[in-house]
A and B are shown apart, each in its own frame.
Chain A
Amino acid sequence: MVGALDNRLGVSRTFGRGAAMSGAWEQDAAAGFVEELFAAHHNEIYAYLIRMLRDSELAADLTQDAFVKAYRNYNVLEKPENARAWLYQIAHRVALDHIRRQKIVRFLPWTGESHGSAPSTERLVMDAHLSGDLQRALAKIPERQRAALLLAEIHDLTGLELAAALGVSHVAARALLTRARESLRQALAVERQADADAEAEADAASVVGTDRRSGTAR
C-alpha cells in the first residue's frame, strides 16, 4: 500500500531517523502518507479505540490524535510494511495515555468555582447501553490485557504485529494474552453470575407480586 502510495506521489521515501528531506517536501510526503494511511486504516483504528474506551466521541478524538501523531512521527517508521502495526502502536499509546490521565487526580486551575464530580450524561447513556456481559467483562480487565485481546482476536494482529503494537517482546505479548484470557474468563463468570442472580431476584419478585395480586399467602 505504502509503496503504491509513494509511486503515486512520486516521493522517494527514506524511512528512519536519519532520513534527511527538505522541510516542506518532507511535510508534503508525511501528509500524503498519513492521508493514505487514514484511508486504509481509520475504520479499524476507530473501532479499536471505541472498544478500548467505550466512548464514541472520545474514540473519534483519539483517532484524530493518533493520525496527527503519525504525521508528526512520520520519519520514525523504518519499514513501511510495518505501518499498520505502527499505527496500532500509536493508537494503543494514545488510549493508554488517556486512561492514565484519567486515573491521575487532576489538578484543576483555580477558577473561583467548585468542581462537580458527577458523570457526564453521555457517559451515563453509554454505560446504560453496553451490549452485554462480554463488553462489561472486557471493561473490567486491565487495560493492557484488554488491548492484547482486542488486537489479537478482533483486529487480527499477528504475533510480531501484536508485540509491536503493544510495545513489548513477542514472548511478553504471548504471556499478556494468556493472562488476558484468564482475566476475561473470570470476569465473564462474575458478570454471568450477577446476571443470573438478578434474574432470580426478578423472578422471585414477580412471583411475590403475582401471589399478592391473587391473594395467595406464602
Chain B
Amino acid sequence: MSIRRGRARRPDDWPSSHVRARADLSDRLDASLEPTEAGWLADHLEACPECRVIADAYAAQRLELRALRDRTPTPPRDLWARTAAAIESESRFRDRRAGATGWRDRRVLAPSVAIAAALVVVVAVATLTSSQRSGGGGTAGSQVAIAAASHPALFSVLGSNPEPTRIPVTEKIAFVARDPAGSFTIKTKNVDSVCPGTSTTPCDDSNATVDHPVSLDQNASTVFGSTDNKRLIVVSDPSSANSGSISVVPIGSDDAGATPTPTSTAATASGTSPSVSPSGAVGTTPPVPASPPSVPPKATPTPRATPTPSDGGPPLPSVAVTATPDGPIEIANDVVLVGQSAAYSPNGNWFAFTARPVSGALGPDIFVWKVGDRRAHAVTTDHRSVFGSWTSDVMVASTIVDATKGSASAATTDLQPVSYLLDPATNGITALPQTGQAWRPAVDPTGRLAVYWAGTVRATGAGYAAGAGRLVLGDWGTGISAPTDAPAPTSIRGDQTSIRHETTITAGRIEDWDARWDGTGTHLAVWIADPESPGVGSLSLYAVDSFDGKIDLKQPLLNKKRAVAGYSIANGQLVWAEPAAEGSTTGGQIQLLAWTDEGVGTVKAVTGPVIVIR
C-alpha cells in the first residue's frame, strides 16, 4: 500500500531525532521517502544501533501481520440469509415509519434473498425438530419467526397465521402494583415478544407476573431501582399524611426468593428508624460542603439559611416493607423531591436527587446518598441547585445566577442557569462556562450530547421552573475544565444555538421534564409534563443513528405517548405507565417498547394501578 504524504515536517518539528527516525521507518514501509529524508535516516541508522533494532522489528512485524492474510476466517454459512432478513426487516420498518400499512410490495430483495431466507426456514425447522428431540431451547423457533416475517408467502407453507409476526425479545420489566386491598407489591414480568410498530394499539402480553417478597404500603409514589437490584429507593406520596420521606428498602435479589404471595409487612417504626447522623443529614441539618456552589459577586444568589427541617421526634414512616436482614432506612424526611432527574451513578455507588423542605421555606438543593450510609447528605446549600444527570461518576448540576440587563432604572434581572460538575466523593466543583445557558443537562453516556433547558429560569413558589427558552438537544463536549470553587457564567460568545448545534425538542411553557438515555447512548427518551397537570405528560423516544451520530427529532420511535411521570429506559427497552384515566396521574397500564435488530415493537403488559420502577 502507499500513503500519500502530507506536508513534510521540518527537522526541528520533531521532539527528538529518534522519534523522527521511527516516523521515517514507518513511512518507508508504505512509500518511498524523499531523497533528503532517506539520506538523513540512513545517517541516523548508521549512528543509532537502537534505531536499527527498531527498523528490523518494524519489518519483522509487518511480515508477521501479512502472514495473517493467509489465515482468513470463514464467515457463517447463513450470514447472507441473516443479513438479507435484517435488510428486509429494515425495509419494512422504514415503510411503517413512512406511514405505510400492511405488507409492502415484496420487491425489495432479489430472488436470491427469498431463496436464502427459505434456506433459513428449512435449516431452522430442521434445527427446531432436532432441538425438540433433544429438549433444546427456543433459538430455532426465533429463527423461524424471523424468516417467516421476512417472507409472508412462506406462511402458507408453514401453516401460520398471516397476521404481522411478533418480534422476539427477551425483556424483563419491574413495577410496583397496588392490589384491591390498597397495598403495593413489587412484581416482575418476562416479555418474550412485542408487536411490530408503535402507532397502533399495542398487543397484549400474556406471560404471568412474578411477585417478589417485598411489599410497600400505599404511600409510595415514586420508586427507583438500583443497578445491582439489591434495593429500592421509595419516595412517599406528597399528598399523603406522611409525605416528605425518602427510604431505601433492601430487597431479596434472587428469583428463587420470588413467591406468588407477598410476605407480611412491618411498618417502619420509630424504634427501627435510623438515628440522625451526628454530622447532619437530609431532613435534619445538611452540612455545608467543602466547596459549596457559589457564584461570582455579581451573580451571587440571595443568601438563604441552610435548610433545617425539624429533627424533633421520630421520623414519620413512609413505607412499610417486609422485614429484611438490614431493614428499611429512611435516608431523608420532611423533604419534597424536586424535578424528575434523580438517578443512580453509573457505578451504582451513589444516588443523587434534588429536594427542598416540605415547608417550602427554602429552594432546592442537591442531595446524595452513598450506598451503605444511613442518611443522604446535601452537597449544595445555595438553595438554587438542581441535579441534572451523571457523567461518568460525577454529577452534572445546575444553579442559577442573577443576570442584570440594561442599566440604571431600565435594568432588569433574569435568572440564568449555569451548569457545573460536582464530585460526590470530594464535593469538588468544576465550572463549565463553555456549556452556556444550560439547566438540568441530561448528558448521554458518551458525554457527547445532552438535553437541557437553554434559556432563563423563573422563580416559582416552591423553587424554579423553566422560563423563556427551549428544551434542546445540543452538543455537550465540555472540553477541558479546571477545578474551581464556584460555577462560572457562560463563556460562550455568539449564538449558543449554532455553536452548540442545538435542536429544539419543545418550546413554550414547561413545568417539568425528564430526559434519560439508554446505557449505550443510542436511544433518548424525553417526557414532558403537561403544564396544567405536571404528574402526567407525553413521552417520546428517539434513536441516534450510529452512522452519523445524529438524532432526527422528526422521526421519533415513540411519539408523544401519554405517560405518567416516571419511566424506565435501558438497553433495548422503554417502560412507561399510561394514566389510569383521562386526567389521572396514577399509572393504569404498563407498556413496553423494545428495540432489536428486527425492529421496534410494543406490548401492553399490565393493567391496574402501577408505578414503574425507574
Contact = CB atoms under 8 A, between A and B. Distances in A.
Most central of A43, A64, A152 by chain B CB within 10 Å = A64
A105 B57 CA distance: 37
A12 B64 CA distance: 44
Contact of B75 (A32, A63, A177): A63
Interface stretch (B87-95, B324-332, B460-468, B576-584): B87-95
Nearest to B88: A31
A59 B61 CA distance: 24
A162 B3 contact: yes
Given A113-B254, A134-B64, A71 B87 contact: yes
B79 A42 contact: yes
Contacts of A100: 446
Contacts of A50: 73
A38 B255 CA distance: 44
Most central of A134, A158, A181 by chain B CB within 10 Å = A181
B228 interface: yes
B253 A68 contact: no
Given A27-B91, A159-B2, A170-B4, A64 B172 contact: no
Contact of B73 (A56, A108, A112, A113): A56
Interface in A140-168: 149-150, 152-154, 156-160, 162
Contact of B229 (A27, A112, A174): A112
B155 interface: no
Interface in B68-109: 68-69, 71-76, 79-80, 82-84, 86-87, 90-91, 94, 98, 104-105, 107-109
Contact of A109 (B4, B69, B107, B568): B568
A106 interface: yes
B112 A35 contact: yes
Contacts of B258: 112
B173 interface: yes
Given A27-B91, A71-B87, A114-B228, A174 B3 contact: yes
A108 B110 contact: no
Most central of A73, A111, A113, A177 by chain B CB within 10 Å = A111
B238 interface: no
Contact of A63 (B72, B83, B171, B568): B83
B108 A181 contact: no
B86 A68 contact: yes
A159 B4 contact: yes
Contact of A60 (B7, B75, B521): B75
A173 B87 CA distance: 32
A78 interface: no
A6 interface: no
A28 B108 contact: yes
A84 interface: no
Contacts of B112: 35
A93 B544 CA distance: 14
B23 interface: yes
A108 B445 CA distance: 13
A104 B86 contact: no
A64 B181 CA distance: 51
Contact of A112 (B68, B80, B255): B255
B327 to A, nearest CB: 19
A185 B1 CA distance: 20
A90 B519 contact: no
A23 interface: yes
Given A31-B91, A31-B110, A184-B61, A43 B75 contact: yes
B181 to A, nearest CB: 22
Contact of A106 (B29, B519, B597): B519
Interface in A114-158: 114-115, 131, 134, 149-150, 152-154, 156-158
A178 interface: yes
A206 to B, nearest CB: 29
B22 A182 contact: yes
A104 B444 CA distance: 11
Contact of B5 (A110, A169, A174): A174
A180 B346 CA distance: 32
A165 to B, nearest CB: 12
A113 B79 contact: no
B571 to A, nearest CB: 7
Contacts of A73: 547-548
A113 B23 contact: no
A107 B518 contact: yes
Contacts of B110: 31-32, 35
A69 interface: yes
Contacts of B75: 42-43, 46, 60, 63
Given A38-B80, A114-B253, A185-B54, A105 B347 contact: yes
21 contacts: A35-B110, A42-B75, A68-B597, A69-B547, A101-B520, A105-B445, A105-B519, A107-B346, A107-B519, A110-B225, A111-B172, A112-B188, A112-B212, A114-B254, A134-B68, A153-B62, A154-B65, A157-B1, A174-B6, A188-B57, A188-B61
Given A100-B446, A110-B229, 6 more contacts: A60-B75, A68-B83, A112-B253, A174-B5, A174-B6, A181-B22
Lowest 9 CB-CB distances: which A-B pairs, in order? A110-B225, A171-B6, A109-B570, A107-B519, A159-B3, A178-B26, A153-B65, A105-B346, A46-B75
